[in-house]
Chain A
Amino acid sequence: MKNLRSTALCILYFALLLLLAACAPSGGGDAAAIVEQYLTAKVVGDGDTVRALLCDVLEAEAGREASAFAAVEARIEGMDCTAEGERVTCTGTIIALYGTEETAFPLGSYSVAQNDGEWKWCGEVR
């Protein structure tokens, strides 16, 4: 009886581990969520977040990325991103207002890369 209980506890323990492993974001964070955070930070000019979420290869571009929408009032509408491997595709639009004129930038597909186990934004897909 005791053995049976131990076996059941053991199975339950492994099942819990499996469940936790399945739920844990692979590679330290959901790639789609990272891209959404990145785009949001880029549009509002949040330099710290941009720097934190930018992949190593593009580290030198941090200043340029964080200033991309500095000359306009920008916001994102209807953003929805889905990840597939190292590619994240987003729908939605960046709306940039300059004076009274609005310009729309449709969102597209972006590369992501793992740096030290974390997903990072790594530029537009070529």
Chain B
Amino acid sequence: MMRLCLWILLSLLLVMPAAAQDDATAPFIATAFRDLTVRAGPGITHRPTSGLGAGVPVRIIERSVTGIWMRVVLENASGEPAWDGWVMRGYLTLSPNLRLSEVPVNREVSDDDPTSQQRESFRRLYGTPIITPHIDTMRAIFLRGQEMGNRADVITKVGDSVTADERYLQPMSQPGALLGPFDFLAPTLTYFGEGAGEASVAARIGMTSYVVLDPMWADPSQCEGGETPLACEYRRRQPSIAFIMFGANDVQHMTYEEYAVQIDEIVDLTLDAGIIPVLSTFSYSPDNALFPQSLEFNLRVLEIAEAQQVPLINLWAAARALPDYGLDIDGIHMLQSGFRYLKFDTGHDAFYGTSLRNLLSLIMLDELRVGLSMEGET
């Protein structure tokens, strides 16, 4: 009997470390739900290096800054790595226990490989990171805004119908958010969520970068006489951060030089109000006749963000990896998933433009909140 007890105890001691190891590694095992191209870096412009068949398990070893791309390794039967490369997270079936906060972030690898592009405009657009927070220059703006009475945990949006869409940013205020593997975004969602639900008077259907500075477009029920929609929104909400995106309407009615003057002025006015402007490039269908012009408009956005050292979301580049560039059937508005709350647990950001934009905006907010130590400044 004594010998039996000892044998059971010994067996348990031998098995336990293996079980513990399985628990520890299981969250990092994923399978693709369709055949995928594996690339040398986290973006569609990086060269293909291999293929991953649907259902084949791979081990996650690191992620891009945004978490939209994962570096995975395929191991052979003896556990040796057969190859490693980058795939889009949205096409992977992940363990529900995966936490991106526990996955190493590769900040060295570039989001895209611009040298693979022939067009100069494409090289410049792909050569700009998906997220550029410019923390150092924004610190002074944020602190000045706090002195002016701006509210650290309040954000707003400025733009046309693509931005006015109630599925953009406003779902942050809705209960039931499913962040999935994006556990590190939870504190940021809690911090900004409550103040994100209100519609902006500076984001309206038909708006352009011209008319956001035209008092005639201001909502008379909320704005004072002679006040522009932009000034009205900033006075009314006193936000610390404004997400700004124009282009879809502008490209039809103005030159890119005129557009640049307007965006520059909007950025100046935002900075003067002690508000951090987060500029964004915009997705536009190559099937649209104005696509060449839209590239020029987007290049102006890059130039202004760089010149003024303000945060930038390169939505154009990120959306290129999505079916139809993340756009709806009109080739202008972003495709929606249909959910009124944030849902990042099943890879919607790899299919729906609005989901991608919400995710990138939340990641930018996270970078700013942490980088500027916003906690305690409400």
Contacts and interface: CB of A to CB of B under 8 A. Distances in A.
Contacts of B204: 103
24 contacts: A63-B210, A64-B262, A67-B211, A67-B253, A67-B254, A68-B217, A70-B249, A70-B252, A71-B207, A71-B249, A72-B206, A94-B216, A98-B161, A99-B205, A101-B205, A103-B206, A105-B216, A106-B220, A108-B225, A123-B226, A124-B216, A124-B226, A125-B226, A126-B225
B249 A105 contact: no
Is the interface on chain A under 10, 10 to 19, 20 to 34, or 35 or more residues? 20 to 34
Interface class of chain A by DSSP: mixed
A63 B216 contact: no
Contacts of A96: 206
| Majority-rule SS of B interface residues | loop
Contacts of A82: none
A71 B216 contact: no
B233 interface: no
B160 A68 contact: no
Given A71-B253, A98-B206, A125-B226, A65 B214 contact: yes
A63 B226 contact: no
Interface of B: 160-161, 204-208, 210-211, 213-217, 220, 224-227, 249, 252-254, 258, 262
Given A68-B214, A108-B220, 20 more contacts: A63-B258, A64-B210, A64-B214, A68-B217, A69-B206, A70-B210, A70-B249, A71-B206, A71-B207, A71-B249, A72-B206, A96-B206, A98-B161, A103-B206, A106-B220, A108-B225, A109-B225, A124-B215, A126-B225, A126-B227
A39 to B, nearest CB: 9
Contact of A70 (B205, B208, B262): B208
